[in-house]
Amino acid sequence: MINCPHCGASNKDGSKFCGDCGQPLITRNGVTCPMCDNLNPPGVTACTQCGARLIPVSVTPSEEPLEPLEMEEEGAVVKGVEGDDTVPEPDDLGEAESLEEFAKVSEAEPEDAMPPWLEKLRELPSEEAASEEEATRLAPGELPDWLEIPPEFEEVLSEAGRAVEEEEVSRAEIPSWLEALRPAEDGVAEPGEPAGPPERTGLLKGIRGTLGIEPILAIPPRAASLPAFSAPPYAYEHAEVFDKVVREPARPSAEVVRPRRLETLVASTLRWIIYLIVATAVVVPILLGSNWAEANMPVTASTIAMYDAIEALPADSVVLVSHDYDPGVAGEMIPQAKAVVGHLMRRQVRLINVSLTPEGARLSREVLDELAEAHGYEYGDDYLSLGYVVGVEAGPRSIAEGFGGAGWTDFVDGIEDVALIVEFAGATEYVRLWLEQVQAPYGVPMVAGVSATADPFVRPYYRNQAQDQLLGLMTGLVGAAEYERRAGHPGLALASMDSQSVVHIAIVLLVLVGNLAYFGGRLRGK
């Protein structure tokens, strides 16, 4: 690999130009860095990659003789090491309690105690050695061989010298704003520099004329002499009373802050009036036996679509009905179930009833028994109730795959024989379970009756008719009433519509009255 001397990018061996910046790569006349093997262009003094120096430093030995190192006799340990050349072995320290004691002992020992190997070393500075040392001693100003500049570097060095000179020349071209940032010598202000002492710390170190922040923040306020003050005697008495009151421990107040009685009374009364209005709106039409809605009930398109899907079923076809609700929404779901299941029985279709909730199984059983008796349906021959199916997501799937497999019904041989799924859902997730686990994978047509709260989250599946997810949809007690009117069999739902109409109108009026009261209060400035 060749590293580009200009941008540092790695290039393949043999490349002539850098693949990154396009500059020529030096392959022959360059200088190889001894530290990182990077090939540098001629003339550079430091490696472009690692910054290591590429040319040897020219050393000029000092003319003055070096001062001998003066060792201070600070401790006997140093003395022992320097004077005797006897390196104490760790084992020799055995009897001596400390290094100091050992040093004293070694000082006292005669030279005979020196080991033979050390004796040999002592003989080394002989005459031969002295002559060798003299031969290698250099004259002042002379460089040793290993520091001599090779001839091939002479040219490089001269170019590097020129580059340094150019750098020095170009220093004068530094712009004034950059020059102003150059750290100044302490206490010496150059001509033209802003006045004031230079910053000594931080990022602005060396720069003069900065806005000082310390004087503003750190200088303590000077104590100003107060004017002469003389208080009257009663002021001291008041101050004493105040001090006594402040120092007393807090006591619970005897007076409890109570909400204003009138406001509480009005709010409570108003609440009860609203409850009374709602109750009256529900009860009075029922007591009067009003049936105004029977003739004026509009039927929405989604309910008509559901009715049509059931009306199109051939006789003896099999319909899977799932009752997934609980007593909380039974007020709107049971009228739905009665209206639709009644229609199914009039169409003479066979019904398989299941439930994904335990309460739904119980509630549907009563509906089925009542309607079966009215339409002459026989349990086992014309309809089945499989009860509560556990398993959440796996529940509907197990029902679909259980047909014909376990032999618990001879109505159908498989889910493909089911003509329609009718789902009664008190909550959105039950519709979703049937859609995801049965309708979509097996392509069984499906309609749904849902509670009013579930409607917004189910409606997208009905409106997605391109996918045939829900062929029809009816919502809440109103949906049941619409279905009854469409089927021409008025029942509980249609009978309840007058009450519901009055309650809806009452709530709309309450909204309007509430806003009138709100604006009235604002006009009064409350």
Partner 1 sequence: MRRIVNAVALGMKRSVPMAIAMAIGSLMLVDFFFDEPHINALGSFFVESAVIVVAFALLLGLLNVLIVHGRKIARREEGWLYSICLVIIALVVLVGGIPGPETSTVKWIFDNVQFPLQAATFSLLAFYVATAAYRGFRLRSLESLAFIAAVIVVLLGQVPAGRYLSEFVPAAKEWILDVPSTAGVRGIIIGVTLGTIATGVRVLMGIDRPYGGEGGSSQ
List residues near partner 1 by CB under 8 A: 270-271, 274-275, 277-279, 282, 292-293, 296-298, 300-301, 326-331, 358-359, 361-363, 365, 387-395, 397-398, 401, 405, 441, 455-457, 459-460, 463, 478, 497, 500-508, 510-511, 513-515, 518-519
Shortest distance in whole angstroms from residue 354 CB to partner 1 = 13
Give the nearer residue to partner 1 in terms of CB position, either 312 or 516. 516
Give the nearer residue to partner 1 in terms of CB position, either 313 or 324. 324
Shortest distance in whole angstroms from residue 376 CB to partner 1 = 22
Site of tokens 């580059």: 163
Tokens of 201: 């710390």
Shortest distance in whole angstroms from residue 98 CB to partner 1 = 46
Strand 318-324 versus strand 39-40 pairing type: unpaired
Shortest distance in whole angstroms from residue 475 CB to partner 1 = 9
Shortest distance in whole angstroms from residue 496 CB to partner 1 = 10
Site of tokens 């002295």: 130
Q: Residues 403, 408, 413, 416: what is their CA dihedral angle, to the nearest 10 degrees? A: -30
Determine the Cα–Cα distance for residues 264 and 91; give it in Å rounded to an integer: 98
Cα of first residue to Cα of last residue in the chain, in angstroms, is 83
Give the nearer residue to partner 1 in terms of CB position, either 49 or 300. 300
The candidate with the shortest Cα–Cα distance to 366, out of 356, 353, 376, 381, is: 353
Determine the Cα–Cα distance for residues 485 and 473; give it in Å rounded to an integer: 15
Strand 318-324 versus strand 472-475 pairing type: unpaired
Shortest distance in whole angstroms from residue 524 CB to partner 1 = 16
Shortest distance in whole angstroms from residue 216 CB to partner 1 = 47
Shortest distance in whole angstroms from residue 517 CB to partner 1 = 8
The candidate with the shortest Cα–Cα distance to 430, out of 459, 460, 396, is: 396
Give the nearer residue to partner 1 in terms of CB position, either 120 or 526. 526
Give the nearer residue to partner 1 in terms of CB position, either 52 or 508. 508
Determine the Cα–Cα distance for residues 65 and 69; give it in Å rounded to an integer: 12
The candidate with the shortest Cα–Cα distance to 376, out of 397, 405, 346, is: 346
Determine the Cα–Cα distance for residues 231 and 32; give it in Å rounded to an integer: 92
Give the nearer residue to partner 1 in terms of CB position, either 285 or 342. 285
Give the nearer residue to partner 1 in terms of CB position, either 374 or 516. 516
Phi and psi dihedrals of 76, rounded to 5? -70, -20
The candidate with the shortest Cα–Cα distance to 371, out of 476, 496, 451, 491, is: 491
Give the nearer residue to partner 1 in terms of CB position, either 239 or 516. 516
